[in-house]
Structure 1
Amino acid sequence: MPSTAMIHLRPYQADDLTAVTALFSASIQHLAATHYDAAQRQAWAPSAADLPAWQERLAGLQVLLAHRDGQLAGFIGFNLDGQIDLLFTAPDYARQGVASALYAAAETRMQAAGVSSVFTEASLVAQAFFDRQEFSVQQAQTVARGAVNLPRMLMHKPLEPR
């Protein structure tokens, strides 16, 4: 049953790393199963997260976390150049407005920074979400994770000036 609790957003902190990587892995293993096979999901989100690599990646991004019912429900990582690098929702909170709230907050921050367009390299799972946010597909892409190929879509959205 969907929760009626409010979504609370806050900035990422270094001690959130383990929770963020666990959410990432759970999201891919559960929510991406309709679009990616087991080998692709394992290549994308290995069983043991490379925490130093994640720490470095997140340090280079603006990262917001969403909490609902006292639980980490999702996160977004973006740059003030207009790139949405990461957007993931916990399986228990999928399709409950978490990703929408995270994206809206990131878009607002990017607009305030003068960004005129947003882009992302969306997974096949995330493509429908970004379609609903008025992104358009620019190009189909494939990213290699070891010997495994993962299809994705380069998507773009112009932003209205503030």
Structure 2
Amino acid sequence: MTTPLPAAFNLRAYQPQDLPALVALFQASVSQLTTEHYDAAQRQAWSPEVADMPTWQTRLASLELFIAGKGQVIAGFIGFSLDGHIDLLYCAPSHARQGVASALYAAAEQRLREGGVRELFTEASLVAQAFFASQGFSVQQAQTVTRGAVMLPRMLMGKTLEPR
């Protein structure tokens, strides 16, 4: 069963020209939606004001990506690889908690199932931990990522896909 997207939004594949909009959405999401779990220094380390676009381009090129949007408006995106890794899942602050992440995740899980993947994993931020738990993931290990001198806590989470 897939989760429907909010009315008027559609799901599509990533195109290279989406890069600036996805990076801007990522930056807005980190700066506005993570304040309860990460301080200003942590948010800056996670998402610097000036993005390294070549690094982003390389990272996105290595993933399958789905975008939820309407016209030129991008509400969210998910990036994953066929080894079961959910690498990126971000929603625009104006579209958070409206079913966009659930619909993106459902589409990615369906694609991974079709690819024969049985085990999923993600490194969830403290913000995303509850979302992934609601999708059937469980915490496997607490982790800390260091960006410069700043430490960012996150959770390694996993899920076994049951046969349908």
Q: TM-score, normalised by structure 2?
A: 0.94
- Structure 1 residues 11-90: aligned runs within 5 Å: 11-68=13-70, 70-90=72-92
Quote the RMSD (CA, aligned, Å). 1.4
Q: Distance in 2 between matches of 1:19 and 1:43?
A: 20
Q: How many residues align?
A: 160
How many percent identity over aligned positions? Answer: 65
Report the CA distance between 1:70 and its aligned residue.
Answer: 4.9
Query: C-alpha offsets along residues 76-99 of structure 1, whole Å, 9 cap, x if unaligned?
Result: 000011000000000000000000
Q: TM-score, normalised by structure 1?
A: 0.95
Q: Distance in 1 between matches of 2:9 and 2:105?
A: 13
Q: Distance in 2 between matches of 1:113 and 1:6?
A: 28
Report the CA distance between 1:68 and its aligned residue.
Answer: 4.0
Q: Distance in 1 between matches of 2:24 and 2:67?
A: 13
Spell out structure 1 runs of 4+ moving beyond 3 A: none
Q: Distance in 2 between matches of 1:49 and 1:26?
A: 12
Q: Residue 125 of structure 2 corresponds to which residue in structure 1?
A: 123
Report the CA distance between 1:109 and its aligned residue.
Answer: 0.3
Runs of 5+ unmatched residues, structure 1? none
Runs of 5+ unmatched residues, structure 2? 1-5
Q: Residue 148 of structure 2 corresponds to which residue in structure 1?
A: 146
